[in-house]
Amino acid sequence: MIRAMQDRVPQLVTTIAGLREAVAAARRAGQRIGLVPTMGALHEGHLSLVRAAKRECPCAVVSIYVNPSQFGPKEDLAAYPRTLDADLAALSACRPDWVFAPSNQEMYGRDHATWVEVGSVAQPLEGVFRPGHFRGVTTVVLKLLNLVQPDAAYFGQKDFQQACVVGRMVADLNVPVTIRVGPTVREPDGLAMSSRNRYLSPAARQRAVVLWKSLQLARRLVEQGERRAETILAGMRELVATAEDVQIDYVALADPQTLQPVEAVSRPTLAALAVRIEGTRLIDNCLLEP
Q: Which residues bind ligand AMP (CB under 6 A)?
A: 38-39, 45-46, 48-49, 155-156, 158-159, 182, 184-185, 192-195
Residue closest to ligand AMP when measured from CB atoms: 156
Residue 10 Cβ vs ligand AMP, minimum distance, rounded to whole Å: 16
Is the CB of 132 or the CB of 235 nearer to ligand AMP?
A: 132
Catalytic pick among 43, 46, 112, 133: 46
For the question of residue 46 being annotated catalytic, the response is yes
Residue 17 Cβ vs ligand AMP, minimum distance, rounded to whole Å: 25
Q: How many CB atoms lie within 10 A of CB 179?
A: 19
Residue 40 Cβ vs ligand AMP, minimum distance, rounded to whole Å: 6
Provide the angle, in degrees to the nearest 10, between the axes of the packed helices 210-223 and 229-241: 150
> Which residues are CB-contacts of 164 (< 8 A; sequence separation ≥ 6)?
121, 256, 257, 259
Q: How far apart are CA 142 and CA 2, in angstroms?
A: 39
Q: How far apart are CA 253 and CA 182, in angstroms?
A: 21
Q: How far apart are CA 230 and CA 223, in angstroms?
A: 16
Is the CB of 12 or the CB of 264 nearer to ligand AMP?
A: 12
Is the CB of 193 or the CB of 218 nearer to ligand AMP?
A: 193
CB 229 within 8 A of CB 93: no
Query: What 3-state DSSP class applies to 286?
Result: strand
Is the CB of 124 or the CB of 235 nearer to ligand AMP?
A: 124
- Report the greatest alpha carbon distance in the chain: 57
Contacts of 193-198 with CB under 8 Å at 24 or more apart are 193/43, 193/44, 193/45, 193/158, 194/43, 194/45, 194/158, 194/282, 195/39, 195/40, 195/41, 195/42, 195/43, 195/80, 195/81, 196/76, 196/280, 196/281, 196/282, 197/282, 198/41, 198/81
Is the CB of 48 or the CB of 280 nearer to ligand AMP?
A: 48
Q: How far apart are CA 285 and CA 266, in angstroms?
A: 18
Residue 189 Cβ vs ligand AMP, minimum distance, rounded to whole Å: 13
CB 243 within 8 A of CB 207: yes
Is the CB of 49 or the CB of 233 nearer to ligand AMP?
A: 49
Catalytic residue numbers, as ranges: 46
